[in-house]
């Protein structure tokens, strides 16, 4: 069985130093680019804004009461679908 190649400690330290310098250079290059502009908020219909305000009110009432899942149901015939607006509003920094 052939012996594995042995490398000196200096070789390993030099390789590690090169990798560290490359990582620092890459991080500096990434930080040099400006962050993308935030996307402008889409206009929300008055009905969806009212629905979001209603959800926020109910969440505020349950602030210290974390005993389960909070769900909202609302029967609206012929109304706007506000699911995208609700997800956008409550998604935070996704």
Predicted confidence (pLDDT) at residue 23 exceeds the cutoff of 90? yes
Please give the Cα distance from 53 to 58 (Å, whole number).
9
CA torsion sign, 71 to 74 to 80 to 81?
Answer: positive
Q: 39-64 pLDDT, tens per residue? A: 777 788 888 888 888 888 888 877 76
Neighbours of 28 (CB within 10 A): 9
**What is the model's pLDDT at position 71?**
67
**DSSP label at 68?**
S
Please give the Cα distance from 30 to 19 (Å, whole number).
16
Predicted confidence (pLDDT) at residue 1 exceeds the cutoff of 60? no
């Amino acid at each position: 069985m052939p012996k594995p190649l042995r490398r000196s400690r200096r070789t390993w330290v030099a390789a590690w130093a090169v990798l560290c310098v490359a990582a620092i250079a890459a991080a500096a290059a990434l930080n040099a680019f400006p962050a993308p502009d935030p996307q402008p908020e889409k206009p929300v219909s008055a009905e969806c804004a009212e629905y979001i305000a209603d959800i926020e009110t109910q969440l505020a009432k349950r602030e210290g009461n974390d005993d389960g899942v909070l769900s909202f149901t609302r029967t609206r015939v012929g109304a706007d679908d506000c699911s995208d607006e609700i997800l956008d509003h409550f998604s935070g920094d996704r």
